[in-house]
Amino acid sequence: MGKFRKWLTRLGMVAFCFSDAKGSYILPNLRDISGCPGYTLTNVVHVHSPPSSAIIGDLILAGDPCDAYGDDLKHLRLSVDYEDETRIHLKIWDASRQRYEVPESVLPRPSNKDIQASASQITLNYTASPFTFQVVRRSTNEILFDTSRHPLIFEPQYWRIKTDLPPNANLYGLGEHTDSFRLPTYNHTRTLWSRDSPGVPPGTNLYGNHPIYFEHRKGGTHGVFLRNSNAMDVKLDDLYDRTTLEFNVIGGIIDLYFLAGSESSPAEAAKQYSDIVGRPAEIPYWSLGFHQCRWGYSDFVEVAHVISNYSSSGIPLETMWIDIDYMTDFKIFTADPEYFPTARLREIVDYLHLRNQHFVLMVDPAVGYLPGENYQTFDRGVQDDIFLKNPNGSYHLSIVWPGVTVYPDWFHPNITEFWNNEFKLFFDPATGIDIDGVWIDMNEPASFCLYPCLDPFEQAREQDRPPPRPASPPKPDTPIFQHDNTFTIQPRGGFEKRSLLAPDYVPKNYFGTLSEKTAHVTAVHHNGLKEYDTHNLYGTMMSAATRRAMLARRPKERPFIITRSTFAGAGSHVGKWLGDNLSTWAQYRFSIAGMLGMASIYQIPMVGSDVCGFGGNVTVDLCARWATLGAFNPFFRNHNIEHTLGQEFYLWDLTTEAAKKAIDMRYRLLDYIYTAFHRASVDGSPVLSPLWFKYPADEKTWDIDLQFLYGDSILVSPVTEEGSTSVDIYLPDDIFYDFLTLAPVRGHGTTITLKDISLVDIPVHIVGGSVIPLRVSGAMTTTALRTKDFALVVAPGLDGEAQGSLYIDDGTSLVQDAISDISISYRLGKVSLTGSFAYSSGVKLASVIVLGLEEAPLVVLASSGGVSLGELDVRFDEQNGYTVITVDRPLDHHLDLVFEV
Amino acid sequence: MLPLPLLLTLALPVRAEPPHVFGVRPALAPLYTPISSKTPPTWKCLDGSLEIPFSAVNDDYCDCPDGSDEPGTSACPNTTFYCRNEGHLGAVIPSSRVRDGLCELECCDGSDEPEGLCLNKCEETGREYREQVEAERKLRKTGSKIRSTYIAHAQKEKKRLEKELVSIEAEIAERQAEVDKLKAHKEKTESISAATMELKKQSPLYFSLITHSKALKSFQRVHKKLKERERLLGDILTGLRDGYNPNYQDMAVLEAVRGWEAAEGLPPKGSEDDDVVVNSPAEEEELEEGAWTEGQLEWQLNDLINQDYLDLLLQHETYLESLEKPSLLHDLSSYIPDSIRPQYESVRDTLISTLQSVGLIKGGSNEVTEEANRARIAFEDAEKRLRESSENKEDTEQELGRLFSAEGFGKSGEWKKLQDVCLEKDTGEYIYEVCLFGSAKQKAKTGSHSNLGDFSHWNTQFSTDDPQYYSKQYYTGGTRCWNGPERSLTLHLSCGTENVLHSVSEPEKCEYHIVGQTPALCLPLEIEENPKVEL
């Protein structure tokens, strides 16, 4: 092949069959790569004298080039670093030319302790020619990653690394996706390329990109992260004796991190991943309350009604949201003077704030292209020159809600100033809309312009954007209520000339060509980087910029931001909702796997799906069930599309009841999950877990994704079938306790059927061996909740012991003056509270409830630091076998409760 | 095509048919006659391809290539069987369903199966059918009466519109004449006024005004600069006063500070009420009468500079003219009896303008420009009125065109009456509203609504002569769906005595179907509604 094929490619004709010189047929992505020669490793040098085991070396093309999707690179460089005991970093790049790699300003690299291979839990063994390698777990000699049958291919716009895995491998991650949590391994491709994905169809690339997978085996769990933001296909396939996994990437470099994980504790893999991509940002306490939103609220009057209706129906509403509807012709940083006048929105915000409730608005990235129309955000953007451009220097135009738009260039040195200023002006507490959090959307970035988008103005007209308002405005006086952003390129050899629009290897983007309905791959950032390379970073960069802007407004408070598009590391800036789903049972079911991906693997624990579903009309049954499941979404928001029936919980009696019951459970557990969020921010511990994180040796748990752990000790098993009032749940060989009755339920490693689960109920169990801190009751707001006393539920495991913890702080400050971090343990008839008690919560420990006892202790003696506090009242529930010990003491000191039996 | 009553009379007299015409349509029965000249008698297949013994007809064996020898059995593939259905309408079924053990719904006489297997329900079915037909007939009869009133309405509308058109045309002619006249007048006055304007600008007064204005502007600029400089110096001196060290006894500094304090009326540094101004900085300046204060200079000077001097010039002249006694000619009207004044004025105006244009008299030169202005406005007004009339004419013509057209209100104009009639259907969740020939909406109870589209066309799959053509109205271009097409509506209509919507469905995402009835579709009984019914 050669010239002929290239000529065809240029004409965009590779989709047709042509016979090449070798007589084989050319189809896109079906080039013959069997003859690719691989590389020979030479000049291996130990970078540092011992104790380091880091090496660098040259990779030289080992034979005749195969030129599968471009000319094989002749000379590559390799580096291998043992960065710490659990992490190996392998990097391969072009020795002679500059290639794009993910900028450190977007995703900083982890620190490198540069240890000796012998101190590492995993080692990398290689064969020099052709160069292949294996990653091995030292304790078990198990091969975790093995390229020995698959020589490396590296071309300017295509590279491939392929590993053999055990048959029917247990793989998780590679999102964002709506496939099963345990990935299908037969002929399955996961494409990573950010895409506005209405209806979140399974099997397609969605909004976010997380090139990380965990693999679980009997002998342990490990992780592999590819630090690369180019479009890629990760292909999985089953052969008769093994599973294979390959990265097919159209740019960037090979930048792999191997994480040892653990032989016994899968959560360790999650924690190690947080070392690379950063740990989740701490969230404000109030953001765990219930949120209500919809697209299509017609005016401020309707929004006020929704707030009032929640209040009068007795359903706790923590935060009210408004979608793009509030804007003037959907222009960001404007409020419609007729439908959502600033003064009336301010009234709503004041009303909410007075009642300790909160307010969130949406901000999209795209700015209406309206030169000379006194649209100040656009004018200031032009002045600051911060919009994304075409190669010829003109603005890169697209179509979003306001019609023809331009995108902010998050790489531009002026962007922080611009974005901060827009937030400061529009969300000014004194004159503007004093939001408590912000919702960022359409940041894939999404466009409605169909490629090649030659005339966006005409397309915008055809699409009727911005559309007119569907109703007349209300009367204006209608009463209501009563860092551093620069990325510099080191000069080295210059960039390869590339065909950005038509790479020979075509990733399986669901929209077809990579530029479809988004910024074109040819668009250029201020620092010269192309969207071809950085597309997948756009949403995360907007997230970081928005976090800075929110911090500039309220410098001492933790920002609350929810985004749609994410890349690895986004969780250190923002939370994420699972996008524009549909009101169907299937979507209700796979929302669980979606959350698990974000919360247990990608380090974005503040996650949830649109409860009751976004697109389409929801049925009352589904909405009731989803209300109960939503109460166990870390981010709990009811959201709906325009022009459908309302689905606010108060609209039906059934959903009102379901929501009240579920929110009561959620709020009583709020400090429990808040503690989990704090742990995540400290060490990356997952906030949600699949069952197998807790029971890694139990094979039956490996593909369960309709039950999950909320925190690490609450098992949630929702009813998942339409019309059903029963659910088959799997209980591993362990002891569990029903959350509501507190009765013990012994699991035997079998599936049991729970019957008569009404539409307003959800089965929830406490996992044995844990101590769960609860508020004694729910409340209408999280502020009110913080005045409720605590109770501790001690749920002994099969060994009769239990551990738990409770973290308390002021709930909002970035830097805390004082915190309480209390460890609770139960062993041999003694409950001990130890740790720090510095934060003054102003509430008491009302009681300790010990579950699963056959008989009540005769006497319970309390003491603190060796000082006796006397005997405590005890009440025993014979039916469900639990003991309530009345403590009624401030939660400010160590406390021991000793049972005399 | 035969009308229904005839069809029934044909079906009834045939009874106790001979076995060889079993399953044959009555119309074809004569063809199943043996060729008696042969012995045994023979029969020719209907396509003429074969001659077979007559006894082979309906012998449950397929002889003819076209299958015509087995009309009453299932022996030949792809043929049909006719059930006579006495008491009801005959029906045709595929022969494959004959003698298959199942009673066909179409054959109410049970003739498709061996005797005794299926009950003969034809009497009952036929009665029900006739009742239904009769009910439909009645409905159509009443409906068509209403329809005829619609047509009458359209006729009236036609007459009304035609009459209106005539009057509009007359109006247009009139207004056109007026436009022509005013245009000429406007052009004339304009040419005069442009020349006078130039002349006026030569006035020394105007010339001097412009010079004054320029001087003021320069003065203001210098003044601003000086003010800024003074502020700066003041800041420096205030800084010095606040910051200097009195212990150093630098006399130059001390003097500057004391001087500054004196000038500004500040208390000596270190005195108790340090930051209180003791007395006003300078005694109230004695202002010349009418002289401007500093504040006025700052705020009102701009107004003065930005004055429209040309306008001033014109005002000035008007003022002067009001002082002069008008010439007799100009003010003769006061001496003219009221009864002939209008004629006089028009003659006078013509005369004056003629005299002015030839320079014989000096016009009130302000009047000239004002006159030009008035002429222009009058002309524009007239033009606008003409445009309105023309548009009105176009609208009326269009309406007239739509009145009896297949694209519009039907060839008989029977739909005209329904223009802008709004029908509603409450589905509990939404209220659907269709304003016929206007737009359709889906209204939520919260007050917001989605537009489902505007009327665009009839059912163009049928020819405009086919009644089916009017059975569907298409409304397109509604509010765009999230991730979908623009909303659209198909209104399926049939004959009924009322204009009413019955049901709403959304078979495809964002494509709505509404089923309704209207008298406009009730054709008179003598017109066959459905020409496709076959025997």
Q: What span, in angstroms and rounded, lies between the C-alpha atoms of A175 and A168?
A: 19
- Point out which residues pair with A886 in neighbouring strands: A847, A873
- B439 at interface of A, judged by CB pairs closer than 8 A: no
What is the second-level CATH architecture of the domain A323-469+507-566?
Alpha-Beta Barrel (3.20)
Name residues 68-107 of chain B within 8 A of A (Cβ): none
CATH of segment(s) A39-277: 2.60.40.1760
β-strand pairing of A291-292 with A637-638: parallel
From residue B150, give the alpha-carbon distance in Å to each of B409, B412, B418, B468, B516: 10, 9, 8, 19, 18
Give the separation between CA A256 and CA A228, rounded to whole angstroms.
Answer: 9
For chain A, which residues make up each domain, given as ranges? 39-277, 323-469+507-566
**Residue B504 maps to a domain:** yes
Residue B327 confidence (pLDDT):
52
The Cα A78–Cα A42 span in angstroms is 10
Short-list B517, B482, B479, CA closest to B498 = B517
Residues A21 and A748: their CA atoms lie apart, in Å, by: 64
Please state the rounded mean pLDDT for residues A60-78. Answer: 95
Cβ(B504)–Cβ(B487) below 8 Å: no
Tokens 């559309």 belong to residue: A467
B495 within some domain: yes
Answer whether residue B181 is part of any domain: no
Name chain A contacts of B444, Cβ cutoff 8 Å.
643, 645-646
Q: Establish if B6 belongs to a structural domain.
A: no
Phi, psi values for residue B246, rounded to 5°: -65, -15
How many folded domains does chain B comprise? 2
Instruction: Name the token pair of B400.
Output: 């007239």
pLDDT for position A717: 98
> Within 13 Å, how many C-alpha atoms sit on residue A21's CB side?
7
Q: How far apart are CA A416 and CA B164, in angstroms?
A: 66
**How large is the angle between the packed helices A620-630 and A653-668, nearest 10 degrees?**
10
- For residue A195, which phi and psi values (nearest 5 degrees)? -150, 135
Domain boundary among B96, B119, B142: B119
pLDDT digits 0-9 by tens, A802-832: 999 999 999 999 999 999 999 999 998 999 9
pLDDT tens readout for residues A841-888? 999 999 999 999 888 888 999 999 889 999 999 999 999 999 999 999
Q: Enumerate residues 6+ apart whose C-beta is below 8 A from A792.
A: A771, A772, A773, A774, A804, A806, A824, A831, A845, A847, A848, A849
Alpha carbon of A616 to those of A613, B108, B277, B448, B483: distances in Å?
Answer: 8, 46, 72, 17, 12
Q: What is the spatial distance between Cα A103 and Cα A856, in angstroms, rounded to a whole number? A: 62
Check if A496 is active-site: no
| Residue for token pair 């599936």 | A751
Q: Tell me the nearest-neighbour CA distance from B430 into chain A, angstroms.
A: 8
Digit-coded pLDDT (tens) for A192-221: 999 999 999 999 999 999 999 999 999 999
| Nearest-CA distance B447 → chain A (Å) | 7
A450's tokens: 């169909």
* CB nearest to B449's CB, from A198, A471, A646: A471
Our CA-based measurement puts residue A471 at a distance from the nearest CA of chain B, in whole angstroms, of 5
Q: Is the dihedral of CA B56, B61, B63, B64 positive or negative?
A: positive
**Peptide bond between residue A732 and the one before it cis (omega within 30 degrees of 0):** no
What are the pLDDT tens digits along chain B (535 aa)?
444 444 443 333 334 567 778 889 888 888 888 888 888 888 989 888 888 988 889 888 999 999 999 998 999 988 999 998 988 888 999 998 998 888 888 899 888 888 888 888 898 889 999 999 999 899 999 999 999 999 999 999 999 999 999 999 999 999 999 999 888 888 887 777 777 777 777 788 888 888 888 888 888 889 889 988 988 888 888 888 888 777 777 888 888 888 888 888 777 765 544 444 444 444 555 667 777 777 777 777 777 787 777 777 777 777 777 776 555 555 555 555 566 666 665 666 666 555 555 545 454 555 566 777 788 888 888 999 999 999 999 999 998 988 899 999 999 999 999 998 999 999 888 899 999 999 999 988 777 788 999 999 999 999 998 889 999 999 999 988 888 889 999 999 999 999 999 999 988 889 999 999 999 999 888 765 554 443 3
3-class secondary structure per residue, A192-220: ECCCCCCCCCCCCCCCCECCEEEEEECCE
Q: Check if A610 contacts B (Cβ < 8 Å).
A: no
CATH code at position B437: 2.70.130.10
d(CA A555, CA A648): 34
**Closest in B442, B449, B482 to A641, CB measured:** B482
Active-site entry in A155, A364, A580, A657: A580
Kindly state whether residue B180 falls inside one of the protein's structural domains. Answer: no
Phi-psi region of B281 (alpha: psi -120 to 50; beta: other; left: phi over 0): alpha
Decide which of A729 and B110 is more confident.
A729
Q: What is the mean pLDDT of residues A611-635?
A: 97
What is the Cα gyration radius of chain A? 28
Answer left, alpha or beta for residue A199, where phi above 0 means left and psi between -120 and 50 means alpha.
Answer: left
For A:644-683, CB contacts with B below 8 A are 645-646
**Interface contact B447, partner A, CB < 8 A:** yes
A564: left (phi over 0), alpha (psi -120 to 50) or beta: alpha
Q: For A500-522, write each residue's pLDDT tens digit.
A: 988 999 999 999 999 999 999 99
Torsion angle (degrees, nearest 10) of CA A152, A156, A158, A162: 20
- For residue A221, what are its two tokens? 């769990």
Mean pLDDT score, A719-735: 97
Determine, yes or no, domain membership for B462: yes
ipTM: 0.70
Instruction: Encode B133-185 in three state secondary structure.
Output: HHHHHHHHHHHHHHHHHHHHHHHHHHHHHHHHHHHHHHHHHHHHHHHHHHHHH
Give the span between the Cα atoms of B436 and B419, in whole angstroms: 6
Q: End-to-end distance of chain B based on CA atoms, in angstroms?
A: 8
Look at residues A854, A850, A853, A851 and name the one whose alpha carbon lies nearest to residue A886.
Answer: A850
Cα A673 to Cα A666: distance, rounded to the nearest angstrom: 9
A580 a catalytic residue: yes
In the listed set B119, B148, B181, which residue is the last one of a domain according to the structure? B119
* Conformational region of residue A348, where left means phi above 0, alpha means psi within -120 to 50, and beta covers everything else: alpha
In the stretch 572-591 of chain A, residues with CB closer than 8 A to chain B read 580
In B, which residues are within 8 Å of A463 by CB distance?
480
Domain boundary among B72, B88, B119: B119
Q: What is the DSSP string of A97-158?
A: SB-----TTTSPPPP-----GGGSSEEEEEETTTTEEEEEETTTTEEEEE-TTS--EEETTE
- Residue A441 appears among annotated catalytic residues: yes
Considering the domain boundaries, does residue B502 fall inside one?
Answer: yes
Q: Which domain holds residue B427?
A: 420-518
Q: Does residue B506 form part of some domain?
A: yes
Mean of all residue pLDDT scores within chain A: 93
Gyration radius (Cα) of chain B, Å? 49
Asked, as a colleague might, if the bond just before A452 is cis with ω within 30 of 0, I would say yes
Q: Would you state the pLDDT for residue A24?
A: 37
Q: Please report the pLDDT score of residue B194 as a whole number.
A: 75
The shortest CB-CB distance from B450 to any of A463, A470, A617 is to A470
Query: Any chain B CB within 8 A of the CB of A441?
Result: no
CA A474 to chain centre: 39
Which amino acid, residue A206?
Answer: L
The four Cα atoms A71, A77, A82, A88 give a dihedral, to 10 degrees, of: 0
Q: Cβ of A211: how many Cβ atoms within 10 Å?
A: 25
3-class SS of residue A585: helix
Instruction: Kindly determine whether residue B447 and residue A646, on different chains, have CB atoms separated by under 8 Å.
Output: no
